[in-house]
DNA sequence: ATCATATGTACAATATAGCGGACAAAAACA
DNA sequence: TGTTTTTGTCCGCTATATTGTACATATGAT
């Protein structure tokens, strides 16, 4: 429920937490690293990291790759992730929805979810424009920086939102401070309207459209987004939103469902 | 390196190992389970399992699903697995190879790897026959039961093979005992010939073809397989093997390579 | 050559994680 | 109704996992 980890300083960390901290760090870096580098960059004791890395290696959770004793995420994680994907079988419908969006709008279409208390792009279909707009799949981005973020936390109470999002994430990439109350007001607006659009605050040339993909309980488990050049986005606003809503409706008809093994 | 886990009885298990034992168990079961059920079925102390499950839940490694407090693999694992897949980008080429095999042979084609000390089908393309032959993706199968198994351990010494494969895995599904020395002889034969084929020992009506997908170091990191009805397989043996070798060669030209993030 | 840094290993101290067992509520069953 | 099984929580004991420190080697800078 909550995302505590380094509650207080000076305490011993639990092996499990450290282990997943290492895995998350490698995912974020997206490259193989030496145990030493990992220890230094996540601020963990070297001896602990060496011990954990060796444990994870022997379990297939990590693998040697890139030489020089560097390690990266291992095959076992792929298998576990595939099992998740197979259970909550959103992949097929998701690709179809992105395909449809790309066809209809020629813009970059994304399927986004929360990863813990961050936002992340799970799948993407690049647009057909000469200058394509794209982002990195799987990178963790502060929730307040994104249009989708407004929708993905809309099921929480105001207080829960503030508890959920790390305070420093309200500091925007340009350095400006986004007042949490302003953000919450936008969340409530997005909730009422069932959509959120704005000129991206991560860059200066894109406009973002986001609509929720709702599950039975009614909250947004994911979002479908379009990322467009500002002028195109504003010119085609109505049509793009219609496309998004249609695609999202298609996804909701075939919601994440268990599948026989 | 080694696959020790429950080396001796009466010892305390390490949290990390227990945790991944739980994850693997859920993957194998392919369904959400209550912590209590998990504890009972993997033979772990209930209090430990409850503690670990709660930890994993709070990390997003496990998720509540299926009601009644049942848990299954979580979204975080999907993200980590996707990062692995993105780094070792075999997916695209792999799908292409399977597509090609399915087109050329109309038989069920599989891409297989080791998962720890078991064999597993990573990706599959079902054949175009009226009665399709298929297996479950991601299920762990004893290495000696499969044609691919002969190739996947061929880089090990005889002794390492015996250390690597759990002794009980030489007990075939029908109950017969496969003499390890016989298995090793078949491994060496497969290594020399660069292929292995046999009438499946898992069922009574299929013939299996396997060829290695080699990486730089020269050992088989994976295999490509065809699973065919026995008569068809024997009738088309030469052609099928040619198709497999061609597809494997295509995969090796684009070996698992890191990709810029 | 000397010094500094990066990398991996070894080990002992102690905070604590894993475990067994007690307890209780709920569900299943008779 | 009473009885048994299932499920989840709580708590104290102690084996041990985490950690700081020291050591060893390789690499690079001056």
Give the residue from B202, B158, B149 showing the smallest Cα distance to B176: B202
What's the pLDDT at A261? 30
Residue A11 (CA) to nucleotide D14 (C1'), in angstroms, measures: 20
Per the CB < 8 A criterion, the answer to whether B151 and B196 are in contact is: yes
Most A-contacting residue of B75, B116, B216, B256 (CB-CB within 10 A), to test interface: B75
Backbone torsions φ then ψ of B225, nearest 5 degrees: -135, 155
What's the pLDDT at A79? 95
Strand C close to B48 by CB, under 7 A:
yes
Q: Looking at A79, A107, A124, which one is the last position of a domain?
A: A79
Q: Quick one: A167 exposed, middle or buried, by C-beta within 10 A (0-12, 13-18, 19+)? A: exposed
SS3 A224: strand
**Residue A103 and residue A30 share a domain:** no
The DSSP H or E segment spanning A92 is helix A91-105
Task: Quote the domain boundaries for residue A198.
Answer: 88-253
Does A151 map to a domain?
yes
Residue A20 (CA) to nucleotide C23 (C1'), in angstroms, measures: 34
Give the total number of structural domains in chain B.
2
**Residue B152 and residue B58 share a domain:** no
Does B8 map to a domain?
no
Does B10 map to a domain?
no
Q: Please, where are the H alpha helices in B106-236?
A: 147-152, 158-164, 180-193, 230-235
- Inter-chain CB proximity B76 and A20 less than 8 Å: yes
| Nearest residue of B to residue A51, measured between CA atoms | B16
Q: Looking at A79, A112, A133, which one is the last position of a domain?
A: A79
Nucleotides of C under 7 A from a protein CB: 6-11, 15-22
User: Beta strand pairing status for B62-64 and B71-73?
Assistant: antiparallel
Compare CB distances from B113 to A31, A75, A138 and report the shortest one's residue: A75
Most A-contacting residue of B20, B29, B66, B94 (CB-CB within 10 A), to test interface: B20
**Residue B103 and residue B27 share a domain:** no
The overall average pLDDT reported for chain B is 89
Does A5 map to a domain?
no
Q: What is the CATH number of the domain that holds B69?
A: 1.10.10.10
Does A7 map to a domain?
no
**Residue B127 and residue B207 share a domain:** yes
Most A-contacting residue of B20, B80, B114 (CB-CB within 10 A), to test interface: B80
Q: How far, in Å, CA of A36 to CA of A50, rounded?
A: 8
Q: Nearest CA to CA, how far is B234 from chain A (Å)?
A: 30
Q: What is the CATH number of the domain that holds B130?
A: 3.30.450.40
Mean pLDDT, each 10-residue run in order, chain B (261 residues): 41 93 95 96 95 96 93 96 89 89 93 94 85 80 96 96 96 94 98 96 91 88 94 94 95 54 30
**Residue A241 and residue A130 share a domain:** yes
- Inter-chain CB proximity A138 and B86 less than 8 Å: yes
Q: Looking at B39, B54, B79, which one is the last position of a domain?
A: B79
SS3 A172: coil
**Residue A140 and residue A216 share a domain:** yes
Residue A52 (CA) to nucleotide C23 (C1'), in angstroms, measures: 36
Does B26 map to a domain?
yes
- Inter-chain CB proximity A59 and B17 less than 8 Å: yes
What's the pLDDT at A254? 56
Angle at the Cα of B107 (from B102 to B113), degrees rounded to 5? 75
Residue B47 (CA) to nucleotide D13 (C1'), in angstroms, measures: 15
| Nearest residue of A to residue B114, measured between CA atoms | A75
Q: How far, in Å, CA of B230 to CA of B167, rounded?
A: 29
**Residue B121 and residue B21 share a domain:** no
What's the pLDDT at B257? 44
Strand C close to B13 by CB, under 7 A:
yes
Q: How far, in Å, CA of A247 to CA of A101, rounded?
A: 7
- Inter-chain CB proximity B115 and A20 less than 8 Å: no
Strand C close to B18 by CB, under 7 A:
yes
Does B236 map to a domain?
yes
**Residue A164 and residue A99 share a domain:** yes
Q: What is the pLDDT of residues A103-145, one digit of tens each?
A: 999 999 999 999 999 999 999 998 877 777 778 888 899 999 9
- Inter-chain CB proximity B14 and A261 less than 8 Å: no
Q: How far, in Å, CA of A9 to CA of A23, rounded?
A: 21
Q: Nearest CA to CA, how far is B80 from chain A (Å)?
A: 6
Give the residue from B111, B192, B181 showing the smallest Cα distance to B144: B181
- Inter-chain CB proximity A58 and B120 less than 8 Å: no
**For chain B, percent of residues with pLDDT exceeding 90:** 75
What's the pLDDT at B10? 57
User: What is the mean predicted confidence (pLDDT) over A173-198?
Assistant: 96
Residue A105 (CA) to nucleotide D19 (C1'), in angstroms, measures: 56
Closest nucleotide C1' to the C-alpha of B13: C18
pLDDT confidence band for A11 (50 / 70 / 90): confident
**For chain A, percent of residues with pLDDT exceeding 90:** 75
By mean pLDDT, which of A10-14, A182-186, B242-246, B248-252 is the weakest? A10-14
**Residue A72 and residue A116 share a domain:** no
Closest residue (CA to C1') to nucleotide C16 in the complex: A12
Q: Nearest CA to CA, how far is A27 from chain B (Å)?
A: 6
Does B2 map to a domain?
no
Backbone torsions φ then ψ of B136, nearest 5 degrees: -80, 130
- Inter-chain CB proximity B14 and A56 less than 8 Å: no
- Inter-chain CB proximity B84 and A81 less than 8 Å: yes
What's the pLDDT at A204? 86
- What is the token pair recorded at A251? 């996804």
Cβ-proximal residues to A64 (8 Å cutoff; 6+ apart), any chain: A57, A70, A71
Residue B73 (CA) to nucleotide D11 (C1'), in angstroms, measures: 30
pLDDT confidence band for A43 (50 / 70 / 90): very high
Q: How far, in Å, CA of B103 to CA of B73, rounded?
A: 35
**Residue A227 and residue A138 share a domain:** yes
**Residue A120 and residue A211 share a domain:** yes
**Residue B20 and residue B67 share a domain:** yes
């Amino acid at each position: 429920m909550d995302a505590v980890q380094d509650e207080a300083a000076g305490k011993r960390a639990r092996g499990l937490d450290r282990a997943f901290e290492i895995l998350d760090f490698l995912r974020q870096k997206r490259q193989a690293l030496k145990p030493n580098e990992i220890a230094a960059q996540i601020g963990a004791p070297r001896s602990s990291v060496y011990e954990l890395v060796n444990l994870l290696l022997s379990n297939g959770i990590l693998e040697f790759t890139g030489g020089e004793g560097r390690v990266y995420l291992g095959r076992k994680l792929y298998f576990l992730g595939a099992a998740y994907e197979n259970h909550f079988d959103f992949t097929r419908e998701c690709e179809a929805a992105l395909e449809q969006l790309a066809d209809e709008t020629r813009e970059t279409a994304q399927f986004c979810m929360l990863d813990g208390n961050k936002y992340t792009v799970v799948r993407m279909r690049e647009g057909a424009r000469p200058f394509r707009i794209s982002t990195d799949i799987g990178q963790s981005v502060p929730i307040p920086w994104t249009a989708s973020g407004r929708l993905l936390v809309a099921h929480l109470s105001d207080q829960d939102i503030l508890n959920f999002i790390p305070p420093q994430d309200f500091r925007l990439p340009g350095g400006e401070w986004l007042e949490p109350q302003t953000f919450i007001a936008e969340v409530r607006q997005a909730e009422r309207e069932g959509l959120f659009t704005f000129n991206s605050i991560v860059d200066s040339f894109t406009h973002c459209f986001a609509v929720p993909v709702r599950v039975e309980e009614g909250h947004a488990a994911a979002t479908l987004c379009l990322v467009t050049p500002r002028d195109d986005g504003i010119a085609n606003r109505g049509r793009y939103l219609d496309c998004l809503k249609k695609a999202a409706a298609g996804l909701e008809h075939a919601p994440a469902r268990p599948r026989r093994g």
